[in-house]
A and B are shown apart, each in its own frame.
Chain A
Amino acid sequence: MVLKPESMGKITLVGPKSYREAVVAELHRLKILHISDHAKTDDIDVGSPLEKANELSEVLVKIRSISSWLRVKRKNNSEELKIEAGYDLGALSKKLYLEVKQKIEQLREVEGRVSANNSLKAELEALKNIAIDLSAFAEYRSIAYFAGYVKNLDGIENRLRAITEKFELYAAAEKGKNVIVLFVEIEKKNEAREILIQHGLSDISTQNLRGMRGRAHDSIRALEEEKSSLLKQMEKVTGSMGKLRLRYEKHLLFAEDFLEKELEKAEAPLRFAETKNTFVINGWVPEKDAEDAMKKLNAAGKNKIFFNLEEPGKKDSVPVKLKNPGPVRPFEFFMDLYTMPTYRELDPTFLVFLTFPLLFGFMLGDFGYGLVTLVLFIALKKKMPKAKNFFNILIFASIATIFFGLLFGEFFGFEEIGHFKLPHIISRSHQVTELLYLAVAVGVIHINIGLIAGFYNELKSHGFMAALYAKGGWIVLQIGVALLALSYLKIIALPIYTGIIFFVLSLLMLLKGEGIRGLIELPGIFSNILSYARLMAIGLSSVKLAEVINESATEMFHGGGFLILTGILLLLVGHIVNIGLGLLGSFLHSLRLHYVEFFTKFFHGGAKKFKPFGAKS
């Protein structure tokens, strides 16, 4: 049945330690057993990893560093990695590691020198128009000096003269800013600095200039020469690293993949229970594969393996593997996004497959938009095979959009093309109230499907009476309120107390089934149902926006001339934006209606996903 996850068997596997490695290798190859990690107890410890685990992880770390230094990136395509046989990965990793490490150190050293070169050059550049020898920037006993930019030069000299005669001021312009260097007797250092600060001093570091001679110009030239030779060195090193990458890229990728797998195998016993001479694996296996798996494992263990296969117990938390036919499978994406259903409840994927595209189509509902998105998503699916599931969902949704577009008689917001009026069942832009009722009716149906599913779940887990009270109560409540409203409005000729009877009955059922909580949540079901009014609201906003675009564009077309061009542009941009908004809104709101309104009626979730040992995550 499509509504149930795959049946699981609880398997226990006991064998002598000498066959441990062979059994692990076979398990890894089969990719069929979900291992339940053994928690250490006083009696039985967890297993110890295979002896080679240490060496493996050492080599793996080396390979990974080499890959990151050489910028070897894992490719996304699932192309099988292969290298020539008989390669000693250990030796390769050792040799290559040393070689690449030396290169990367060389590279870092050169990079360091380049950056020192850059900062020194910046200092010299700032001072290059000052007419003094660089040897002046030395350490003095009786002189202090400042170098920096100031905002204005007016009056600095006079103000300095007011405090001392013993100073020398050099000034120059550099890239529109005033650069000054001031030498002053050391006793007046602070006062002089104060004056400069008032003129907006910002310091230029002279730290690196100590011990230099000659004019800044000449030093800059020397620095430039040094830099170009450094850059050449860098190029040489990166070039040789690039060659190494070309030569070893395949090997590195293969090695990483291979070693990860081997390491996973080598560390697998950490998840087993182990005694001195035996190992025990507890896990889960799909029931249909159990027979075959046991046969193959026994062959690997030379018939020395003991198996025990049993039905999952009531309290076991069974890992869940969803089982849906091809077209439904993409919708498992929504369960991954939310949470896995537990083993004993309904798998909602099939229900979501039925209703998600419908709700989506109801909101976007435009023949033209549906065609555009259908083509778009088919193209995108080809382009990005990784997100295949996601695009498959959207393709289903687009088809529903086309269908609803026909029902609503809408084509890019137009209800008539030329003078041909598109046939429609209901017009969204003119029959707003009817659309609202329709949306709420959809809500009633959807919510009640949820309640029926909930009834089934309750029935399986707590029996018929519990299901009747907890889920049936909600249905009776809806009937009661509907009867009350209809007889109050005199639409049906029933005495008002029939409605009241249903209402009170439902209250009692809910009190029994869900307790006080049920009564508190009483209005919830109506706000849930009313929430489906968004089907109308989102749709209406999308239609109205399309109409506004169309009307403005039509007016422009009547204007003629240049306006026709702007009209076309407006149509294009407007509808693209509207489709984008519509897609986002319809997707999220349809999803929300499922997660919040629909799922809360029956779904618990929270199970672990079935992840067999050896399968890629």
Chain B
Amino acid sequence: MAVDINTGLVALGSAVAIGVSAIAAAWAEKSIGVAAIGAMAEKEELFGKGLILTVIPETIVIFGLVIAILILNLSGA
């Protein structure tokens, strides 16, 4: 199917929004996860706290997703 360039650009825009924010979230979680596992190795009860701290940056990718959907919606695609 033929798609005009504007639709393609909109799709790319929302792809960048979710893709880049996913990379950012992954990066942030990586550092925290490493530290959390280190702490857990010393003290196992820290699992709960470690889990929470590790997943905190996950919100970044959710924001990315929301923006991606907004881009798609606002452009009326």
* Chain A interface residues toward B at CB < 8 A: 337-339, 432-433, 436, 527, 530-531, 533-534, 537, 588-589, 591-592, 595-596
Contact = CB atoms under 8 A, between A and B. Distances in A.
Contacts of A588: 51, 55
Contacts of A533: 62, 65-66
A338 B51 CA distance: 9
Given A433-B69, A433-B73, A436-B69, A530 B62 contact: yes
A591 B48 CA distance: 10
Nearest to B53: A596
A432 B70 CA distance: 11
Contacts of B49: 338-339
B27 interface: no
Nearest to A588: B55
Interface in B13-29: none
Given A588-B55, A595-B52, A337 B47 contact: yes
B55 A592 contact: yes
Nearest to A591: B51
- Mostly, the A contact residues are helix
A595 B62 contact: no
B32 to A, nearest CB: 13
Given A591-B51, A592-B52, A595-B52, A530 B66 contact: yes
Nearest to A532: B62
B26 to A, nearest CB: 15
B70 to A, nearest CB: 9
A589 B65 CA distance: 16
A527 B73 contact: no
Q: Number of contact residues on B: which range applies?
A: 10 to 19
A548 to B, nearest CB: 18
Given A531-B59, A533-B66, A596 B48 contact: no
Contacts of B65: 533, 537
Contacts of A530: 59, 62-63, 66
B31 to A, nearest CB: 18
Contacts of A589: 55, 58
Nearest to A334: B48
A534 to B, nearest CB: 5
Contacts of A527: 59, 63
B56 interface: yes
Contacts of B47: 337
A319 to B, nearest CB: 16
Given A339-B49, A436-B66, A530-B62, 20 more contacts: A337-B48, A338-B49, A432-B69, A433-B73, A436-B69, A527-B59, A527-B63, A530-B66, A533-B62, A533-B66, A534-B58, A537-B65, A588-B55, A589-B55, A589-B58, A592-B51, A592-B58, A595-B51, A595-B52, A596-B56
B35 to A, nearest CB: 17
Given A433-B69, A588-B55, A531 B48 contact: no
Nearest to A335: B48
Q: Counting chain A CB atoms within 10 Å of each CB, which of B55, B62, B63, B69 scores highest?
A: B62
A338 B45 CA distance: 8
A433 B62 CA distance: 14
A595 B69 CA distance: 27
Interface in B37-57: 47-49, 51-52, 55-56
Nearest to A594: B52
A527 B62 CA distance: 10
B66 A595 contact: no
Nearest to A337: B48
Given A338-B48, A595-B52, A596-B56, A531 B66 contact: no
